[in-house]
Structures are given as structure tokens and as C-alpha cells.
Structure 1
Amino acid sequence: MNWRRLYAVVQIVGAVGGISVGCAGFYSVIVIGICRKVVGLSDNISVFAVGLPLFIVLLIVFAKYLPRWLHKAGMLSDEPKRFGPWFKRDTEM
């Protein structure tokens, strides 16, 4: 077992997953608040019909695009080419 590879994968999954969930939750709560106050939707409709689908879509988008930006910012330590062929990322922006 390559412990350095395991650490890097756990770091990427933890950092990207945590930041993705946090950002998607933040933006979903903002949109839910706007739907409740400005548009006048009820709580159930704004949370379950607008907020939950938006959260899922944003979570997928952030999980797809955050790794390259976190590598570029230096928040993730190892390059993906050291992880093996199953964990690749785009090098071009």
C-alpha cells in the first residue's frame, strides 16, 4: 500500500467534498431565501422544489471543477499523475 497515494486521495476527497458541500449549501440557502422573501413561495416549495435540486446540481458542478482550482491554489499537495491512471485531471484551463 502506498500511504502517500492514500493520503493524497483522502485529502482530495475530503477537501473537494467538504468545500463542494459548503459552497453548494451556501448558494442554495441564498436562493431559498430569495424565493421565500421576493417571490413569495411557501417553505416546502422553496426548499424541496427549488433548493434541493439546486443543491444537487451545484454539488456536481463544484465537485467537477474545484480540483483543478485547488491544485492551482496549492491547497492540494500532490499532483494527480502520482495517484495512478484512475485519478486524472485536465491540465489546461
Structure 2
Amino acid sequence: MLTLTQIKAKSAPRLKGLHPAVSAAADKLIERCYTCGVPILITQGLRTFAEQDRLYAQGRTSPGSIVTNAKGGYSYHNYGLAVDFALLPMHPGI
């Protein structure tokens, strides 16, 4: 299992550009989840409108499954006010 320091280091680039309150809350969420034995990794933070539009096109005009209903400018990610995260395996090999 990754250490808390390693998880924070891997998540740090995705916290850049976020509103300071959101960044601080995400950092606390990482710590709290780790302490509870449910480690998480921040997978997405701030997105440009163009990045959001590419995600919106997925499953509509480009291959893949639909992953968002928000076009560029209509997602909290576009304003640094949202994060996505993934659960990390608690034991190697899981």
C-alpha cells in the first residue's frame, strides 16, 4: 500500500489551480480516507473548457462511453471547484 506521503505526492499535480478552499478540503479528504483505511487518489481537478468539451464529446461524437453531461463552462471543474477521486487498493495485488 502506498504511504500517505506518496498518495499526496501523486495527487498534488491535480490539486494545482483549484480554489484554495477546495484544495485544502481535498487534502483533508485524502488524509481522512487514509486514516479510515480507504485510501483515495485525486484523479482530476481543474479542467479547461476545451478539456471539458472533449470529455462531453466522448460517447456522442467521439468513441467511448459518456462520462459527463456538462459542456465546457458548465462544470465546476472549469472553475477549480471540483475534484474526482479513485479508491486505491488496500493491499498489493488487489
Pairwise same-fold verdict (TM > 0.5):
no
TM-score by length of 1: 0.31
TM-score by length of 2: 0.31
Structure number with the higher strand fraction is 2
Structure number with the higher helix fraction is 1
Question: Which of structures 1 and 2 has the bigger CA Rg?
Answer: 1
